Structure 1
Amino acid sequence: MGTTGNEEYSATQNAKTTSRFRYNSPLIQVVLIGLVCFCCPGMFNALSGMGGGGQVNSTASNNALTALYTTFAVFGILGGGIYNILGPHLTLFAGCSTYVLYAGSFLYYNHHQHQLFAIVAGAVLGIGAGLLWAAEGAIMTSYPPENRKGSYISIFWSIFNMGGVVGGLIPFILNYNRGDRAVTVNDGTYIGFMVFMSVGAVLSLSILPASKVVRDDGSRCTSVLYSNVYTECLEIAKLFYNWKMLLIVPAAWSSNFFYTYQFNHVNKTQFNLRTRGFNNVFYWGAQMLGSVGIGYVMDFSFRSRRKRGVVGIAVVALLASAIWGGALANQIRRKPGEILDFKHSHSRYAGPFVLYFSFGLLDAMFQSMVYWVIGALANDSEILSRYAGFYKGIQSAGAAVAWQIDNRNVSSTNQLIINWVLTTVSYPLLFLLVVLAVKEDKDAEEDSAKQVAPSSVQDAFFH
């Protein structure tokens, strides 16, 4: 007896659903890299988000972060080439391992108040972060299907930032009963971070190389298995006069630059320790909402890919203007020296809290938007790993400068204005890049088909 049309349709849909949950499917690999980043940079973000690394004096943290982002700037750019040579396992595991050392250095600082270990650990973490984020960028921009890159980026960003949510709960819970007496976090906070980071390092070994990842239509993500040192050095050098990368520079520079202001001049200076942990739960939770929202706009708002890109950039630009305007209003109204607590300062707490929440929303939308643009410039993992590495390198150079600006006691208002100007300058350049360089979905898929020979999903499952 033959199957009915409905049964055939149901069988087809079930097959598609099953294929998405293959271990070597883009979705599962994106979820896995999200979990890795949940454990490592997610916990690092929670640690940084407390302001001063959870210490009363920000000097050690600022110097450690300057060292971190200085080496990150170099290895972020080199990271794409290293990833192309070593593949995901060695690149990710080496990168993740350095996060544990960094959290441990603040555990040491809690007892000895010697910042040298923290600075050295920061420099080592910069190397590791360059490797991890170059690998993450290559995976996020090349593994997903062309018409779902925004959605996959939002899935990754949500999982990753859940790490910040959980990481915010750690200092909030462990320091809750200390109330206003607490000026630095306790040892258990740093140990909790180290445990999660160690799990992330082990989990990184589960990521498959691009050549073994197969999309639902049977196409592989790339035809390139390994590169060589000479080729990578040459291709990385070319990035510095690639007009597409030059248009991304202002967005890359500003995208971590604003953390210094948000963490040290909003969260750290306006709230007590337990409230900073509480705020971070919502800051990183807002990132999840922001990434999902902008992912929908970039993938589904219009049929035209270019139009989706332009609209997405416009949405972020308008939201950013409103949030930075709110930050300026908060800066003008705030009372010098006033420290707020979420339980005892309800009327004065609401405004700064909403501002900090909005900063989290903006960060996710801004960075997801830039990743979407980068992912729309090419299809091949080898090319996109270099693009992502360049983005992270420039981003980290900006962050290194920002942390030292803060060490030079530049006023909060001046830092706010610098951030507002930097992000505003980036939007028209991204508009131009989308209009000139982003291909429509059909053209991009044809290019991808020329680069990558399709293979059987069923056969690839057993590889």
Structure 2
Amino acid sequence: MSTNEKDVVPAHDVNTPEHSLTDSNTLELPNSWKYKSLSIGGMKLPWFASPPIQLLIVSIVCFMCPGMFNALNGMGGGGQLDPTANNRANTALYSTFAVVGFFAGTFTNKLGIRTALSFGGIGYSVYVASYLSYNHTANLGFTTFAGALLGVCAGLLWCAQGAIMMSYPPEESKGRYISWFWMIFNLGAVIGGLIPLGQNIHTTTAGTVSDGTYVGFLILTLIGAALAWALVDAKDVIRADGSKVMIMKHPSWKSELLGLWQTFFTDPYIILLFPMFLASNWFYNYHFTEINGAYFNVRTRALNSVLYYLMQILGAYVFGFALDFKGVRRTTRAKIAWGVLFSVIMIIWGCGFIFERTYDRAWAEDKNSKKKDWADAGYAGPLVLYMFYGFSDSAWQTCVYWYMGALTNNGRKLANFAGFYKGIQSAGGAITWRLDDLKIPYVNMFASNWGLLAGSLIVALPVILMKVEDTVSLEKDIAFTDETVAEVAPKAHVVSAQGETSKV
């Protein structure tokens, strides 16, 4: 391994123009291990305090924590035969998440990325531990408490993750960064799903997952919570072009709370994206509990979950890289993405309506009903549908994040956007888990999903048509508030989302 020290530059104040890239575009970075660029086998790696490495760390944290949560819930009922405990826990989870999410940007900006992510990871560990306990004690109180605690913790974790994913990359790479994150994050759910699949591969009857599954998930979530402390402070992150992310300079609680409120006045259009935010978690209960948990036996649920998240990875790859396609203007890409997403929703959920008519809640809750196995005739159709539900999920999430990231590069504003996003989607999640607990007919839940997804895209269309620009100017971003300070390492040119350059 060798170090190329000509590729780095100290983070100077944006008001000192005498420091800039040289004509040869070489950078001089601070003399610290964080900025040492290593080469392995002739391949040059980014320095540690670079957006790609920091995003990789965040992705692995989410691989270990939310990834295991998704694997557990993807089994249907949290791995339990009776979904009551899972419904109660997730109702509590998304209820607290909905409240904390609205203020998560404020708390994350104040506490810092590492603290928010690590605290969030601990919440996932307690959540998994409550299911391990439930296998032996059937203690609904503990699982409900664990869900409520996780709502608080996850609100901070996802806000910190969203701010990093949307503000760290340069404009022309935001789609790819979102794609990379979503692929790594969902790989966690794939691997997590392989654990119960391997343990239950010979079990053809319906049932709960074993203690070993929960123990494996618990260990991984604890590792993820610890890994969050490997991140560097946002102020130390430097991009490959020498620029730094936009952060707050020693904000007070008052300025942070005012900044959250100010977002509604500076960017009122964000309200039109709220239905898309609400829809983004609305369908999980239907996917996990009312299809996978209700229709299939335990080993088939595990296989379905693995394939569901593999399709999530594929969807994130396709949409993430398409959203950053260099040959098309960003405004055009935004419109095309809307059209493709609307078509995907209508086709997949249209096919879902045909499948929905083949069973109902009464059949699913009848203990004498034989749940479907992968060896049964007719399994292929529901499997393919379920896989494409996973594909549409990642396409939706990737597009929503990309649209938010296309509206601004201001880290503080993006933290607030991410907080709104997670808070509103969690409110939707709380409602649907509670509706399932109240035994709402499956066909009604299906209709609410399809209608909300299609309708929210129509409501969001004016924002996509009028507010997404080819590039967001630095002046517009720092005008968000008088106390927002852009710590940008000087550079000779800013590269727009279309690959064009303009003088700063």
TM-score, length-scaled by structure 2: 0.84
- SS of the residue corresponding to residue 454 of structure 1 reads coil
What are the within-5 Å matches in structure 2 for residues 49-68 of structure 1? Answer: 49-68=74-93
Cα displacement (A) at 1:283 = 0.5
Superposed CA offset, 1:76-97 (max 9, x none): 1111111111111111111111
Percentage identity across aligned positions? Answer: 40
1:233 aligns with 2:263: no
Name the CA distance, whole Å, in 2 between partners of 1:198 and 1:219: 34
Alignment partner, residue 453 of structure 1? 488
Superposed CA offset, 1:363-420 (max 9, x none): 0000110000111111121111111011100000010001011111111111001000
Cα displacement (A) at 1:70 = 0.5
Name the CA distance, whole Å, in 2 between partners of 1:296 and 1:445: 25
Q: Kindly indicate whether the alpha-carbon contact (under 8 Å) linking 1:52 and 1:58 is maintained by their aligned counterparts in 2.
A: yes
Alignment partner, residue 382 of structure 2? 352
Alignment partner, residue 187 of structure 1? 211
Alignment partner, residue 240 of structure 2? 216
Name the CA distance, whole Å, in 1 between partners of 2:102 and 2:50: 28
Structure with more strand by fraction? 2
* Consecutive unaligned residues in structure 1, runs of 5 or more: 1-10, 457-463
Q: Kindly indicate whether the alpha-carbon contact (under 8 Å) linking 2:235 and 2:487 is maintained by their aligned counterparts in 1.
A: no
Q: Kindly indicate whether the alpha-carbon contact (under 8 Å) linking 2:75 and 2:293 is maintained by their aligned counterparts in 1.
A: yes
Name the CA distance, whole Å, in 2 between partners of 1:18 and 1:213: 21
CA gap 1:177/1:94 in 2 versus in 1, 3 angstroms: same
Name the CA distance, whole Å, in 1 between partners of 2:488 and 2:297: 57
Q: Kindly indicate whether the alpha-carbon contact (under 8 Å) linking 2:245 and 2:488 is maintained by their aligned counterparts in 1.
A: no
| Amino acid paired to 2:372 | L
CA gap 1:55/1:447 in 2 versus in 1, 3 angstroms: same
2:165 to 130, 133, 140: 140
Name the CA distance, whole Å, in 1 between partners of 2:281 and 2:415: 19
Alignment partner, residue 257 of structure 1? 282
| Amino acid paired to 1:232 | E
- SS of the residue corresponding to residue 251 of structure 2 reads coil
Alignment partner, residue 447 of structure 2? 417
Q: Kindly indicate whether the alpha-carbon contact (under 8 Å) linking 1:20 and 1:27 is maintained by their aligned counterparts in 2.
A: no
Q: Kindly indicate whether the alpha-carbon contact (under 8 Å) linking 1:75 and 1:127 is maintained by their aligned counterparts in 2.
A: yes
2:372 to 324, 340, 343: 340
1:200 aligns with 2:228: no
Name the CA distance, whole Å, in 1 between partners of 2:208 and 2:312: 26
Q: Kindly indicate whether the alpha-carbon contact (under 8 Å) linking 2:194 and 2:302 is maintained by their aligned counterparts in 1.
A: yes
Alignment partner, residue 103 of structure 2? 78
CA gap 1:252/1:304 in 2 versus in 1, 3 angstroms: same
| Amino acid paired to 1:93 | S
Structure with more helix by fraction? 1
CA gap 1:225/1:206 in 2 versus in 1, 3 angstroms: farther
Cα displacement (A) at 1:235 = 2.2
Q: Kindly indicate whether the alpha-carbon contact (under 8 Å) linking 1:297 and 1:311 is maintained by their aligned counterparts in 2.
A: no
CA gap 1:301/1:359 in 2 versus in 1, 3 angstroms: farther
1:33 to 45, 51, 58: 58
Superposed CA offset, 1:413-460 (max 9, x none): 11001000001011123321122212213x54675699443258xxxx
Alignment partner, residue 497 of structure 2? none
Query: Root-mean-square deviation (CA), in Å?
Result: 2.3
Name the CA distance, whole Å, in 2 between partners of 1:256 and 1:19: 39
Superposed CA offset, 1:297-353 (max 9, x none): 2110653111111111211110111110111011123484451111x21x3110110
Cα displacement (A) at 1:239 = 4.2
Name the CA distance, whole Å, in 1 between partners of 2:95 and 2:43: 44
CA gap 1:439/1:15 in 2 versus in 1, 3 angstroms: farther
1:304 aligns with 2:329: yes
2:268 to 243, 246, 265: 243
| Amino acid paired to 1:417 | A
CA gap 1:20/1:149 in 2 versus in 1, 3 angstroms: farther
Superposed CA offset, 1:200-235 (max 9, x none): 001111122221111111000124244221122222
CA gap 1:227/1:430 in 2 versus in 1, 3 angstroms: same
Name the CA distance, whole Å, in 1 between partners of 2:406 and 2:222: 33
Cα displacement (A) at 1:19 = 7.1
What are the within-5 Å matches in structure 2 for residues 330-409 of structure 1? Answer: 330-334=355-359, 336=363, 337-342=369-374, 344-345=375-376, 347-409=377-439
Greater shift in the superposed pair: 416-425 or 219-228: 219-228
| Amino acid paired to 1:339 | K
Cα displacement (A) at 1:36 = 0.5
Name the CA distance, whole Å, in 1 between partners of 2:114 and 2:301: 35
Q: Kindly indicate whether the alpha-carbon contact (under 8 Å) linking 1:146 and 1:445 is maintained by their aligned counterparts in 2.
A: no
| Amino acid paired to 1:164 | A
Name the CA distance, whole Å, in 2 between partners of 1:333 and 1:301: 45
| Amino acid paired to 1:410 | I
Q: Kindly indicate whether the alpha-carbon contact (under 8 Å) linking 1:66 and 1:400 is maintained by their aligned counterparts in 2.
A: yes
1:437 aligns with 2:467: yes
| Amino acid paired to 1:341 | D
- SS of the residue corresponding to residue 255 of structure 1 reads helix
Cα displacement (A) at 1:171 = 0.8
Cα displacement (A) at 1:179 = 2.9
Q: Kindly indicate whether the alpha-carbon contact (under 8 Å) linking 1:70 and 1:396 is maintained by their aligned counterparts in 2.
A: yes
2:191 to 151, 158, 166: 166
Alignment partner, residue 461 of structure 1? none
| Amino acid paired to 1:107 | L
CA gap 1:106/1:318 in 2 versus in 1, 3 angstroms: same
Name the CA distance, whole Å, in 1 between partners of 2:247 and 2:68: 34
Q: Kindly indicate whether the alpha-carbon contact (under 8 Å) linking 2:65 and 2:221 is maintained by their aligned counterparts in 1.
A: yes
Cα displacement (A) at 1:199 = 0.7
Q: Kindly indicate whether the alpha-carbon contact (under 8 Å) linking 1:63 and 1:119 is maintained by their aligned counterparts in 2.
A: yes
Alignment partner, residue 6 of structure 2? none
- SS of the residue corresponding to residue 102 of structure 2 reads helix
Name the CA distance, whole Å, in 2 between partners of 1:408 and 1:173: 33
Name the CA distance, whole Å, in 2 between partners of 1:15 and 1:173: 39
CA gap 1:223/1:129 in 2 versus in 1, 3 angstroms: closer
Name the CA distance, whole Å, in 2 between partners of 1:415 and 1:301: 40
Q: Kindly indicate whether the alpha-carbon contact (under 8 Å) linking 2:282 and 2:449 is maintained by their aligned counterparts in 1.
A: yes
Alignment partner, residue 3 of structure 2? none
Cα displacement (A) at 1:27 = 0.8
Cα displacement (A) at 1:103 = 0.3
* Consecutive unaligned residues in structure 2, runs of 5 or more: 1-24, 27-36, 364-368, 480-485, 492-504
Name the CA distance, whole Å, in 2 between partners of 1:452 and 1:236: 20
Q: Kindly indicate whether the alpha-carbon contact (under 8 Å) linking 2:38 and 2:46 is maintained by their aligned counterparts in 1.
A: no
- SS of the residue corresponding to residue 202 of structure 2 reads helix
